[in-house]
Amino acid sequence: MCSVVIGLLSVPALTQSQDSGESAPQKSQKKNDAPKNAADPTIETDIEATEAQEAPKRRLVKWNEYQGPHFTVRGGAGFLYEVAAFAQDQQSKGQFPLGFKHKVRDFRFLLAGRFPSSKRSITWSAGFMYDAPTNSWLVRQTGVMIAFPELLGHLFIGRSKEGFSLNKVMTGYDGWTMERATMNDATVPLLADGIKWLGYYPKHGILWNLGYFNDIFSKGQSFSSYSSQEILRLAWLPIRSVSDTHSLLHIGLNLRYGKPAENKLQLRSRPEASPAPYFVDTGKFSATSTFMAGPEVYYRRRNWLFGSEYWIQKVDSPSTHNPFFSGGDIAATWTITGETRTYNTVGGFFRAISPARPVFQGGHGAWDLVSRYSYINLDSRTISGGRFGRFTEQLNWYLSDNVRFEFNYGYGHLDRFGFRGNTQFFQSRIQFQL
């Protein structure tokens, strides 16, 4: 990934940035749209309490909003339905026999709003999701976000993503693939309760996420695998606001320290296919703490996006001789129809593609081609959780800001149970959001 970025940086047109382009929020913006950079409209310069998923730019309905003098409310919803089929060799069948499956992947309700009469920006959110893998309802991102311009940032209090990993901060509805990489799902909890400080210093293009979380209110829930955790994410944007190419380079570092709940840890992940079982799984073992660290690099130029994340996890577990796990991914996306993914400077993440010519307005929508390789290694010391790597090719069709079809082919290799099995994945998903 580094060689790719270095090669791209050698292009003269990409080596310039415009700090002066980082402007204050514009009063003329459409409601519910985050302020855009004056030099490059594909860069947002503010963030709200909702998950990294803004209201669609083109409204499907208007009855789901209330705009009052003292508070506002917007209701939203999301729905994912998918099908999956598999082709396996004999070794793979000996590990996990798989068959055709279809299921509801995700169903959620969202509420969000702000307090216009407040002297400082205060936004709030509440989310509720039906999680198909666990057959249960979860309280999603719920809390308040308070802007502190004097501290160059925002303070969030409540339940949210920790902030570790750009791809994790993005919602699944915004991501370029159907599922996050296996290492991401195995090691970073989906949600956490606590407080975090997000900020951005435009003069030097520095952004940060500093957070503390615990399980006082979430203990026993499926996502709550830690009793407490501290997060630090730092990123630098050495290239940004190049309006003619929409060029942006994001270089980040993630650090995380956590204490597993009840001094027990279990790392596991499905093979980036929700209907499949857990391909890699350490089982529960004694552990007093974990430390994670790793870089993230993303480069955007017009309708191209290249990215990679990789991290290691060191576990303090004397009974298993302190295992050491690692993994990550590398990806490239090409939006065939020419659209550019918007980037948020405060949260340090990318938005979903918004088609320039939606199908429901007589256009062809937006088409996006994705290639990715991901890898995870959960074999270390006395732990034999397995090693898995997968190549993925995916085609996304964004009919509008509300509807998306995904077509996915994957080829995975699993080394576990004394077998080395190969599996082909054939997946499709429909996504709807309001």
Q: What is the pLDDT of residue 35?
A: 64
Q: What is the pLDDT of residue 123?
A: 96
Average pLDDT, the chain: 90
Q: Averaged over 293-302, what is the pLDDT?
A: 97
Cut 0.95: pTM above it: no
Q: Other CB atoms closer than 10 Å to residue 232's CB: what's the count? A: 16
Q: Averaged over 182-197, what is the pLDDT?
A: 96
User: Of 197 and 152, which is predicted with more confidence?
Assistant: 197
**Dihedral pair phi/psi, residue 50, rounded to 5°:** -65, 165
Q: For residue 16, is pLDDT > 70? A: no
The string of DSSP letters for 261-274 reads GGGEE--EE-SS-T
Q: What is the pLDDT of residue 134?
A: 74
The string of DSSP letters for 6-47 reads HHHHTSGGGS---GGG-PPPPTTSPTTPPPB-SS-TTEE---
Q: For residue 327, is pLDDT > 50? A: yes
Nearest to 212 by CA among 264, 167, 259, 165: 259
Q: What is the pLDDT of residue 38?
A: 55
d(CA 385, CA 414): 11
Lowest mean pLDDT among 50-64, 137-151, 383-397: 50-64
Look at residue 417 and give its three-state secondary structure.
Answer: coil
Nearest to 229 by CA among 258, 251, 262: 258
Q: What is the pLDDT of residue 41?
A: 87
d(CA 28, CA 281): 51
Beta partners for 160? 192
Look at residue 184 and give its three-state secondary structure.
Answer: helix
